[in-house]
Every structure is written in structure tokens, then in C-alpha cells.
Structure 1
Amino acid sequence: MVKANERLSDKNIDSRFDLKTYLDAQKTIIEAALDRSLSISKPEKIYEAMRYSLLAGGKRLRPILCLATCELMGGTSVIALPTACALEMIHTMSLIHDDLPAMDNDDYRRGKLTNHKVYGDDIAILAGDGLLAYAFEYVATQTQGVPPERLIKVIIHLSHAVGAEGLVGGQVLDLESEGKTDISAETLTFIHTHKTGALLEACVLSGADLAGANREDLERLSKYAQNIGLAFQIIDDILDITATVEELGKTAGKDLKAQKVTYPSLWGIEASQTQAQQLVEGAIAQLTVYGEKADPLRAIASYIVTRKH
């Protein structure tokens, strides 16, 4: 597995590009912006609960994708930062709700107790609701120097990604599929392109639209995002089997315990890994026309299949 991933990375990314340095620098910017974005107000408890999960750490891959795509298309991180923060607010909402007893029922997230374990189910639900609503307000009120029509496109991307045609729809079908043994690869792919992939695609397309990308660029970037979104979930399924609790920062083996159909359960680990690599290669192929400017997106794509958590 490692050797195959190394070959993929070496083949597609200029060795001079230092992904770790890039991700660390972007993450520092995003962490500071998230901290500024949400202060404690009254009632204090709900703001504390929102901040608890929003500032709990993590890879911050989704906001980084937004910044990287905006810069690739000629924009700046300054104009993209409010949207990047909003995307992380939406992602955090999805994690809070996903961890609830009525959903995937987990006690840990990002190495910390889940929101409902600290604040209770009721406050956790409301904290997720608060973050979701605030995300749209934050984009609309904090973005500067962007034409209104571009902001409308961004808000449409976010709404689509989180609604019944995106995350919510994918989560419903995921819950309905638990314990069933006749789930097909097509159904599983539908679940994950909606539950996971839709938000990743929104990250990429939002960054592009903020910079005024044309239709051809948006089509290429959409294909890139769809491929990395599905690859991301395949690797998540593999890691649920192969990684430790410490590596994941959440409960390992959850899918097996919940009797969920996963890509490894359908194809096996090795074939799943191969499929993820092929998806990433397809994603990287969409970036050829951009040359070295797309190195961050290339590196992120390859990172998806080499990550350990």
C-alpha cells in the first residue's frame, strides 16, 4: 500500500512542493480566523458548545481546498477566508450531528469527547444548528471585494451541499442501509458522493467562483472534487478497519460494529485502495492545464490516499 501510494505521489507532484509546510501554514491562518469568527455571547452555553467543536482541531482540509482553489483561479486567500471558515462551520455541524446517539453514536471526535458527551444531546443539536445558520451569515457579511453575483453562487453551493440533495440525503440513506447485506456499490457510492463528496465539491467550487472562474475551469474542478471526495471516503472505510483509535481520534471499527456496508466489505482492502488511487489519478489529470500553479491541489489529492487518519 505505501509503495503504491509513493509511486502515485512521485509521479504527479513536483518534489520541490512541500505539502506539509503548505498545510501547516494554511491551517495556522484558518485556525486564527475561526477563533476570531465566533466569540462568546449570551446565552454563553450555546456559544461555548459551538466553539468547543469548531476549535477542536482537525486537518482543516475543506477550508484549505477553498483557499487553494481560489488562489489557483487568480483570487486571494483574503476574499476566500470567510467562505473557508463557513465551510468548516458546516463541516463541524455535520460532525456534531453525526456523532449523536440517534446517528452514528460516537464518544470521541478529533481525540476529544464529542459535543453531546460534554454538553448533552439537546445543546449539541442546537450547537450544530447554530453553526449551520451562522455559516451563511458569515459568508454574506464578512466577504469583501467580491461581486454579489459570485456570493450568491457560493451560497447556492453551500445550500446544495448540506441539504437533502447533499449531506442530509446521504445521511438518510446511510442510516436506512445499516444492517442490510444487499447494498450495492452503486448505492454506497450514492451515499458517499452526497454525505461526504458534496461538501468537498462545494469547497472547491466556492473557491473557484469567488475568483470568477469560467465554465471550463468549473467543469474541470468539479471532476477533480468529485474524484477526491469519493477517494476520501474509500480511504476512510479502509482506515476504520486498519487504523487505531489514537490515529483516528475517534472510535475505530465503527462500521463493522454498526453492520455497515463499506468499500472494503464489497471489494476488499487492496481493491479499494486501487480504486482510490485511480480516482486520485483522474483528479490530478484535470489539473494538467494549470501547470505548477495547481501543485497544492495535486498534493492534497495524493495526500488523501496516503493519510493515516
Structure 2
Amino acid sequence: MQDITQALSRCANAVEAHLERLLPSVSTAEGEVVEAMRYSALGGGKRLRPFLVMESAALFGVDPSRALQAAAALEMVHCYSLVHDDLPAMDDSDLRRGRATVHRKWNDATAILAGDGLLTEAFTVLASPESHPDAQVRLELITELATAAGAKGMVGGQMIDLSPDRAKLDLAGITRLQALKTGALIRYACEAGAILGQAQREERTALRLYAEDLGLAFQIVDDLLDHEATPEETGKPTGVDSDAGKATFVGQLGLEKARVRAEELVVSAKSRLDIFSGKAQLLREIATFVLERRS
């Protein structure tokens, strides 16, 4: 596990430095929202999604600087979603990554604008030739991220999560919800590497299936942590979904069966990578990391 921890740390440091370059402070009137964008995007998080972009791209020999550009764009979208998810109209959270949420540090309006700013800036980043010299590749990166982040992906999942019917979802309903809300960006993270590498169809399919298993395992572990971990471990409030009466994997399966299901999904995810042989070792290790994480 030490190797994957070090690899995650190296990726996080690279992404942090790149985000710092892409989101410089400004001294003009709009500087306050830029600082809120920087606050939400810099200085925290495992950077799991950027790691998946970088490692999936490495399978195809993609220039790391191009992969880093796509990884940073995806992290901007992820951070925007966290800023908006924490708002009073959604989860009403005071804590994120061990510090005050954006709307608590500033106010609701600034948090909304900061999220909007990160989302839109992400597409500027992908549209840059730094992402790829081929405009068609850049267009596919943009199109797929827009789909993953929108009503057919993360936003659609969030709408289901906020629905009054959320408490009544069965296991199939929860699985679909999380495949949209959490899984869509994880799928994009893996497919972005394949897009950058102009991979063969079977290679891209293998990465998509890996990501689907991984994303579901990630959410089941999140549900387990919501029951078993402390806010100090996770860096955010725990027990939120259960206290709100929301249907969860743990609520449907119980703790032990949920844990077993997560383990099965990780085994399945790793098997999807057989097509890449030894080149995908870090992607296999990150699946174990997702299973064993405490935050």
C-alpha cells in the first residue's frame, strides 16, 4: 500500500501545482470569487479522479503534461460539485476536507459563483491545445465531460438524491443513483486517458467497465464510512444520509453484506484490467486503496 500512497501523493502534488498555475489570484474586483475558487480547488483531497486520468493515460504512452491538463479540468468539475453539494439548499454541510465549507467561509452567493466559475473554467482548460494538439480529441474530451457532469450524469444523480422519493429507493435505484452522481466522473476519469491515447475500442471498454465497478465500490465504502468513521477521519460530517432517512447500500444490505459487495466489486474491477497485463498495476492498487480507505 506504501507504493500506491506515494504514487497518489506525487499525483496530488502535480495536480496542486497545475491548478495553482491555472487559477492565479487576481487583484481586480472579481478577485473574491477567484479566491473562493482557489480555496475549494487547492490544498486538499486525495485527487483520486486526476490519478485515474493520469494512470489510464499512461497505459497508452500519453504525454504526462497533456494528461495533467485533463486531470486538472476534471478536478475543477469535482470541486465545483462539492461546493454546491455543501450548500444549505443541498446537504447544508459546514465541513469539507477538514475545514470550513466555501459558503461558511464566505456566503451562499459566493459559493454558487465559485462553483460556476470552476465548472466553466474546466472547459476552457480542456479546449486549450495543451490538452491535445488534435482538435477532435479535445472536442471528445469536452463532450464526454459535459455528459458526465450534466443531467445524464452527476447533476441527474444529484437531482435523484434530492428527490422526496430518495428514501424509498430499492437496491437497483440506489445503484443507478450512485452510477450517475458519483460514478459518472470516475468513468470519465478512466475514459479520458483512453481518449487522449486514442485507444482501441476494447481497451476503452475495459477501462469503462473497470471504472463502473470502482465507482460503485467507492460509494459503498462511503456509505460504510458514514456509519463507522468519525468526522476527524473523513474531514466531513458523518451519519448525514442515515440521519436524513436516505436509502443507502448499508441500509439495504447491512454492514457486512455491503462490505462483501464492495470487495466483490474491487475483485471484478481488477479483472477488467487483464487486457493491459502488468501495465495497469497502479490502477489495480488504487482499487484496493478505495476499499481500505478511511476518508
Matched, 1:234 2:220: yes
Amino acid at match of 1:101: P
Aligned to 1:3: none
Matched, 1:77 2:64: yes
| Preserved CA contact (<8 Å) 1:89 1:131 | yes
Aligned to 2:149: 162
| Preserved CA contact (<8 Å) 2:125 2:131 | no
| Preserved CA contact (<8 Å) 2:206 2:275 | no
| Preserved CA contact (<8 Å) 2:148 2:185 | yes
Alpha-carbon offset, residue 264 of structure 1: 0.5
So what's the TM-score if we normalise by structure 2?
Answer: 0.96
Question: Can you list the C-alpha shifts for 1:223-246, whole angstroms capped at 9, x where unaligned?
Answer: 000110011000000100100000
Distance in 2 (alpha carbons) for counterparts of 1:129 and 1:141: 19
Distance in 2 (alpha carbons) for counterparts of 1:270 and 1:77: 40
- 1:175 aligned to 143, 159, 162, which one? 162
Matched, 1:133 2:124: no
Distance in 2 (alpha carbons) for counterparts of 1:86 and 1:123: 21
| Preserved CA contact (<8 Å) 1:245 1:251 | yes
Matched, 1:305 2:295: no
Amino acid at match of 1:23: L
Alignment of 1:164-243 (within 5 A): 164-177=151-164, 180=167, 182-243=168-229
Structure 1: which 4+ aligned runs deviate by more than 3 Å? none
| Preserved CA contact (<8 Å) 2:95 2:236 | yes
| Preserved CA contact (<8 Å) 1:161 1:202 | yes
Distance in 1 (alpha carbons) for counterparts of 2:266 and 2:79: 25
- 1:66 aligned to 45, 48, 53, which one? 53
Alpha-carbon offset, residue 47 of structure 1: 0.3
Alpha-carbon offset, residue 20 of structure 1: 1.5
SS of match in other structure, 2:128: helix
Alignment of 1:111-126 (within 5 A): 111-126=98-113
Alpha-carbon offset, residue 258 of structure 1: 1.2
| Preserved CA contact (<8 Å) 2:67 2:131 | no
Unaligned runs of 5+ in 2: none
SS of match in other structure, 2:182: helix
- 2:84 aligned to 97, 109, 112, which one? 97
Distance in 2 (alpha carbons) for counterparts of 1:260 and 1:224: 27
Matched, 1:44 2:44: no
| Preserved CA contact (<8 Å) 1:49 1:127 | yes
RMSD, matched Cα: 1.3
Aligned to 1:11: none
Aligned to 2:93: 106
Question: Can you list the C-alpha shifts for 1:214-273, whole angstroms capped at 9, x where unaligned?
Answer: 111011110000110011000000100100000010001111121111101110011001
Alpha-carbon offset, residue 178 of structure 1: 6.3
Q: Which structure has more RCO (C-alpha within 8 Å, separation ≥ 6)?
A: 1
Aligned to 1:25: 10
| Preserved CA contact (<8 Å) 2:132 2:138 | no
Alpha-carbon offset, residue 56 of structure 1: 3.4
- 1:290 aligned to 259, 267, 276, which one? 276
Unaligned runs of 5+ in 1: 1-14
SS of match in other structure, 1:261: coil
| Preserved CA contact (<8 Å) 2:16 2:43 | no
Question: Can you list the C-alpha shifts for 1:87-127, whole angstroms capped at 9, x where unaligned?
Answer: 00000000000000000110000001000001100110010
Number of residue pairs matched by the alignment: 293
Amino acid at match of 2:276: Y
Distance in 1 (alpha carbons) for counterparts of 2:176 and 2:46: 25
